[in-house]
Structure 1
Amino acid sequence: LGFVEGPLDSPILHVEPVTAERMTVVVAPNHPWARGGELTNADLRRQSWVFREEGSGTREAFLAALQERGVPLDTLKIILTLPSNEAVREAVAEGAGAACLSPLVCRRSLAAGALKRANILLPPRPFQAVHHRERYVPKAAAAFLELARAMPSFSP
């Protein structure tokens, strides 16, 4: 049993949507975007960004959302690329720039005031449960899947 984000098409895997989240752009509390004004594409291009590494689902989902808005990757100022959500979150809290993260990754930092949400609405990102079509799903995995199905969608 596994969980993946984004589309997946495999003849050997059973794929079942279980939840979704709406990622959020976060900044340090003293950043101009923390005041809540609506962001333009020009704002996004001028900003210094902290990104996850290539191949990260978070990165790919954010880049797809930006592309839909008409902001391609080659127009962004990416100043840091880091290997984990936690590293990105901490760099942003220290003022390195803006980043796009899962609301689950940054909820404690948002609640504590260490991060602030920027005013930009991103599309939902689906999560699917996957397992091999021809393999038995153990009872513990099936119970865990039931819990995942009952999870609410996450939005900032």
Structure 2
Amino acid sequence: MTLKELSFFYRLCEEPHFSKTAQKLNITQSALSLAIKSLEHDIGEPLFDRIGKKLVLSETGRLFKELTYPAFTALLEAQSLFSGNALLGILKIASSKTIGDYLTPRIVFDFLLYHENVRIHKEIHNSATIIQMVKNGIIDVGFIESACDEREIVKETIGYDELIVVTGDGALANRCVYIDELFEKKWILREKGSGTREVFLEALGEIARSLPVFTEFSEFEEAKTLLLHSADIMTCVSRVVVEKELQRRELFEVQLKNVSIRRPFYLIYHKDKYQSKLLSTFKTHVLNVLRPS
């Protein structure tokens, strides 16, 4: 069953005469007849009844046309779209928490404004999960905040981020202290596998083993609620996460002596991933929005 055979069938439905339809299609009557017989062979029943000299759709033919014509027109439309220059397709992406909450929405929105035939399916996971999703071909592109040394994965730096220590304790505002001076506080950190957690603990070095982690969180709003609830709580998050709270002086940054945490954001994809026009254009768009400084 081919698109050409289906096309001949629908034209014959409109003009139920083999000779007239063949003439309009600029093919021989025998070629048209063979195409219809091929369809009938595939289906197993006649599509037309030959009533005297008349050609009439059979009950099977009427149902076949009803069921297949919408799909046929959709295929023709898709064929027309893909043969043109329009950018189209469905892109699957996943972002780590900071990027997914604060950067990806703007990136995706702006891209879709200019490419109406594109759909983007987006998810939010921690960096470790996203790396596995790329390795397994579940997503096309990932955005992560932690290091990735997997040989199967291509990693491109798309921007930089600053991690800061934050508290609701105004007495610590603008102070510069050693990390162990804050060990009496109740520390809350992102869950294991989070890029934010991994980068923070790595920056602390050996002393990170002694950091007393009171509990973990997966949502930034949860962390901010706890920070605003008790001045005894501390955490480490991206500056963009608490930017408004810092400006309103609801939360306060605590400077750490000998510790400065500036991490890269990465766009990752599988090394065997085909670089389609859609993927290449999306990558360029991301770099334009988040150009490294």
State which of 33, 39, 43 in structure 1 corresponds to 2:172: 33
Summarize the alignment of residues 2-151 of structure 1 with structure 2, pairs less than 5 Å apart: 2-28=142-168, 30-34=169-173, 36-67=174-205, 70-73=206-209, 75-95=210-230, 96-120=232-256, 121-150=259-288, 151=290
- Residue deviations 1:73-112, cap 9 Å, x none? 3x22222211222211221122251110011211122222
Q: Which contiguous aligned blocks of 4+ residues in structure 1 show a shift greater than 3 angstroms? A: 137-144
Greater helix share, structure number: 2
Q: Is the deviation greater in 105-114 or in 17-26?
A: 105-114
Structure 1 SS opposite 2:260: coil
Matched to 2:261, the amino acid is P
Q: Is the deviation greater in 102-111 or in 5-14?
A: 5-14
Contact 2:162–2:263 (CA under 8 A) maintained in structure 1: yes
Contact 2:200–2:261 (CA under 8 A) maintained in structure 1: no
CA distance in 2, matches of 1:79, 1:51: 8
Structure 2 SS opposite 1:55: coil
The structural deviation recorded for 1:39 is: 0.8
CA distance in 2, matches of 1:5, 1:44: 25
Q: TM-score, normalised by structure 2?
A: 0.46
CA distance in 1, matches of 2:240, 2:216: 20
Contact 1:25–1:99 (CA under 8 A) maintained in structure 2: yes
CA pair 108-9 structure 1, distance change in 2 beyond 3 A: same
Matched to 2:243, the amino acid is R
Using CA pairs below 8 Å that are at least 6 residues apart, which structure has the higher relative contact order?
1
Contact 1:86–1:105 (CA under 8 A) maintained in structure 2: no
Q: TM-score, normalised by structure 1?
A: 0.81
Aligned length in residues = 149
- Tell me the residue number matched to 2:4: none
CA distance in 1, matches of 2:240, 2:279: 22
Residue ranges of structure 1 left out of the alignment (5+ in a row):
none
The structural deviation recorded for 1:10 is: 2.5
Structure 2 SS opposite 1:71: helix
CA distance in 2, matches of 1:110, 1:117: 7
CA distance in 2, matches of 1:7, 1:98: 24
The structural deviation recorded for 1:32 is: 2.3
CA pair 25-136 structure 1, distance change in 2 beyond 3 A: same
- Tell me the residue number matched to 2:85: none
CA pair 10-103 structure 1, distance change in 2 beyond 3 A: same
CA distance in 1, matches of 2:215, 2:164: 18
Structure 2 SS opposite 1:146: helix
CA pair 66-130 structure 1, distance change in 2 beyond 3 A: same
